[in-house]
Amino acid sequence: MARREDADILDSIERWVEREVRPIARHHDHADEYPHELVGQMQALGLFGATIGEEYGGLGLSASTYAQIVTTIAAAWMAPVGIFNSHLIMAACVERHGTAAQKAHWLPRFASGELRGGIGLTEPDAGTDLQAIRTVARRDGETYVIDGTKTWITNGIHGECFAVLVKTDPAAVPRHAGMSLFLCEKGPGFTVGRKLKKLGYKAIDSAELVFDGHRVPADRLIGGVEGQGFVQAAQGLALGRINVAARGAGIAQGALREALRYAQQRKTFGKPIAQHQAIQLKLADMATRVEAARLLIRQAAAKYDSGERCDLEAGMAKLFASEAGVENSLEAMRIFGGYSYSTEFDIERFYRDAPLMCIGEGTNEMQRIIIARQLLERNPV
Amino acid sequence: MKRILVGVKRVIDFNVRVKVKPDGSGIVTDGVKLSLNPFDEIALEEALRIKERGGADEVVVATIGPADCQQQLRTALAMGADRALHVVHEGTIEPLAGARVLLKLIDKEQPFLVILGKQAIDDDNNQTGQMLAALWQRPQATFASKVELTDSTARVTREVDAGLETLEVDLPAVVTADLRLNEPRYVKLPDIMKAKKKPLESLPFADLGVSAAARVKMVRTEPPAQRQKGIMVKDTQELIAALRKRGALQ
Ligand SMILES: Cc1cc2nc3c(=O)[nH]c(=O)nc-3n(C[C@H](O)[C@H](O)[C@H](O)COP(=O)(O)OP(=O)(O)OC[C@H]3O[C@@H](n4cnc5c(N)ncnc54)[C@H](O)[C@@H]3O)c2cc1C
């Protein structure tokens, strides 16, 4: 995409964030109240189709542009990004792996935001080790019958449609050869369990999805062939990691912004604390982390956009940027002193929201393992 | 066709901290973010709202400036303008020359209403709208904070020093927008894509027969004097004492 449109897009997002998102963040976060008003605005802005191809009514944005949008929003309030982010990962699974008929049927409705949802991989007993999932889909004539429970599913309550990872052959060896992805819309046999209470990432619904004899037509199997689900889900994670990295960078940037301002206003011993060297060292490290995170994301996104394999780069970006979010929010807490603990400032929200970025889309432990594996693979002795 | 013409100007973005060149010959513009003049955005927003209410059929935006001003015209098209006119000109255009160019565009487009920002935040001249009305020999209503149209008139509420003043002017007329007229919309991302395909007509400045000769000589640019640091006083007593000390109070 040309740079002019990028600039216009980011300008528009910035304006929207300052006018509509930032002002409601504290209230919705503290009340753990879903920001319904933002959903309509996101729909009008086109965010539900951000990365979906233009031929399906989406905007067809590159991962690079998309990551900048995510960072811009997360720098004010990270949580609302989840409303369209996991929705877009579901859409990406269909766009990359779906049949022509599936793309034509689902993508326009996803792009317009008429049908919204997310992605259901994690189960109570299987997160990192996704091949250990127990949800099964059994073929019965022209339908599949799905049984099992998913947990931690973003948009679980307010979304209607989910890409759900199941086992179509629980006995398969290797285990992933028996895994498939289905598109499931809420209905008989597919209900929402409880809304989960969380430390941060509040206002956005994370919920249990319960499948109890849920029947779906066979054409809901993404790609139309059994046994592809694990690979399909794993490929979606590359984009997912760039997204989480972008959120981490946003949190890091937002924390820096708050800290920079506060450090120039708060005075001790007759001068603004920004004049004390100990605070300057923190500010310098924080700003450096923000820039480094941005560059890693830019590099990973460029590689993703060019169609190259990017798990090493996306892994590094995700690892570094999410840790930058955690470190910067903690450093900002220190800079705010006692007021960091006040719920009348935003910095405590950044501090609570940041750690999720180290967990989602593959924990940072797993990112390190992926990076190391790629290193060894690319540099044999 | 009921048409509104909106004049827009590219300026240094209002968030940028403007720096004066060391030699005082102007301000630093290299690598600085440029945007639509905020008052012009308000003018455009008002035109779009009038059109959306059914009060106009078409909104045309026009700018005078170098080739890359097209960017700002595309932004205006993304906001919702139907067409754009670009009078291509390098270098400064003073308000009178700007007004003369706009008059040529009025001849071409025959709008029933022209809306401009009350001033551009670069030079803060606050002249173009007034000069244009005079050249066009039509009524003007400047500093608008509210615009209501009938078939043949515009009722315009103006922000003046003493409060609010309401004028009724016959159309066609020139209206200039003040800050509180409206809050411009944020652009929808799909509209940014659609704007790429909207008509944008380039008109060479030379073809319009308007002189760009400067009538004002810019002598020097300098930054405002650094403000002295203030002092904090505890109460009115201390305030009065401080004022006495400076001789501001007897
Ligand atoms: C707010 C929130 C929203 C979420 N949204 C979604 C969603 O929309 N969809 C979805 O499917 N999931 C979602 N998740 C789930 C998330 O993806 C998982 O929590 C994550 O993948 C980790 O899985 P787990 O919690 O089971 O941890 P575990 O897999 O039990 O890991 C526990 C610890 O062990 C480490 N570990 C595990 N295996 C290894 C290994 N081989 N080597 C070294 N260390 C290892 C991990 O790094 C971690 O530190 C969400 C989670 C949260 C908290």
The CATH number given to whatever domain includes residue A357 is 1.20.140.10
Question: Are residue A245 and residue A275 in the same domain, yes or no?
Answer: yes
pLDDT-derived band at B101 (thresholds 50, 70, 90) equals very high
Distance A298 CA to ligand 1 centre (A): 25
* Optimal mutation site among B187, B189, B191, B229, interface A, most CBs of chain A within 10 A: B189
Whether A39 and A171 share a structural domain: no
Do A157 and A278 lie in a common domain? no
Give the type of residue at A365. Answer: E
Among A178, A199, A227, residue at a domain's last position: A227
| Whether residue A358 has its Cβ less than 6 Å from ligand 1 | no
Same domain, A136 and A156: yes
In CATH, what number is assigned to the domain containing residue A125? 2.40.110.10
Return the pLDDT at B228: 81
Q: CB-based contact (8 Å) between A47 and chain B?
A: yes
Between CA B153 and CA B169 the distance in angstroms is: 5
- What is the CATH number for B164? 3.40.50.620
Q: In this structure, is residue B224 part of a structural domain?
A: yes
pLDDT band at A3 (very low <50, low <70, confident <90, very high): low
For A6, the closest chain B residue by CA position comes to: B192
* Residue B101 domain-assigned (yes or no): yes
What does the pLDDT average to over A269-279?
A: 96
- Residue A1 above 70 pLDDT? no
Catalytic residue (choose from A95, A123, A323, A361)? A361
Give contacts of B 205-234 with A, CB under 8 A. Answer: none
Residues 6+ positions from A339 with CB-CB distance below 8 Å: A262, A345
B61 lies in a domain? yes
Q: Which domain holds residue B180?
A: 3-245
Q: For residues A30 and A80, state if they share a domain.
A: yes
pLDDT level of residue A238 (50, 70, 90 thresholds):
confident
State the pairing for strand pair B113-117/B3-7: parallel
Measured between beta carbons, which residues in chain B are less than 8 angstroms from residue A73?
none
Indicate if A341 and A285 belong to the same structural domain.
Answer: yes
End-of-domain residue from the set A50, A83, A112: A112
Is residue B15 in a domain?
yes
Q: What is the mean pLDDT of chain A?
A: 96
| CATH number of the domain bearing residue A82 | 1.10.540.10
What pLDDT was estimated at residue A311? Answer: 87
Ranking B68-72, B103-107, B173-177 by mean pLDDT, the lowest is B68-72
Domain finish residue from A193, A227, A261? A227
Q: ω before A174 within 30° of 0 (cis)? A: yes
Q: Is A361 a catalytic residue?
A: yes
Q: Are residues A10 and A107 in the same domain?
A: yes
Question: Is there a domain that residue B250 lies in?
Answer: no
Could you give the CA distance from residue A304 to residue A319 in angstroms, rounded to a whole number?
17
Indicate whether A101 and A160 sit together in one domain.
no
Residue B210 domain-assigned? yes
Residue A284: predicted pLDDT: 98
Fill in the DSSP letter of residue B209.
T
Residues of A with Cβ-Cβ distance to B192 under 8 angstroms: 5, 8-9, 12
Is the separation of the CB atoms in A354 and A326 below 8 Å? yes
When divided into structural domains, chain B yields a total of: 1
Query: With contact defined as beta carbons under 8 Å apart, do A126 and A132 qualify?
Result: yes
B124-167 tens-digit pLDDT? 999 999 999 999 999 999 999 999 999 899 999 998 888 999 99
Cα(A110)–Cα(A47) distance, rounded to whole angstroms?
Answer: 10
Buried-state track B138-165, b at ≥16 Cβ within 10 A, e below 16: bbbbbbbbbbebeeeebebbbbeeeeee
For residues A136 and A131, give the distance between their C-alpha atoms in angstroms, rounded to a whole number.
Answer: 12
Q: How confident is the model at residue B229 (pLDDT cuts 50, 70, 90)?
A: confident
Q: Does A42 touch chain B (CB under 8 A)?
A: no
Task: Give the three-state DSSP class for A176.
Answer: helix
Structure tokens at A354: 């940041």
Q: Are B6 and B62 in contact (CB under 8 A)?
A: yes
> Looking at the structure, do residues A266 and A188 belong to the same domain, yes or no?
no
Taking CA atoms, what residue in A is nearest to B187? A12
Domain region containing A272? 231-378
> Is A323 found in the same domain as A237?
yes
Total number of domains in chain A: 3
| B189/A19 CB distance under 8 A | no
Q: What pLDDT is recorded for position A2?
A: 52
Instruction: Kindly state whether residues A83 and A148 are assigned to the same domain.
Output: no
DSSP-derived secondary structure letter, A20: I
Mutation site for B-interface testing, chosen from A1, A3, A10, A12 by largest number of B Cβ within 10 Å: A12
Asked if A163 contacts A234 with a C-beta cutoff of 8 angstroms, the reply is no
Distance (Å, rounded) from C-alpha B71 to C-alpha A99? 39
What pLDDT does A155 receive? 97
Whether A187 and A288 share a structural domain? no
Burial bucket for residue A96 (CB in 10 Å: 0-12, 13-18, 19+): middle
User: A345: which DSSP letter?
Assistant: S
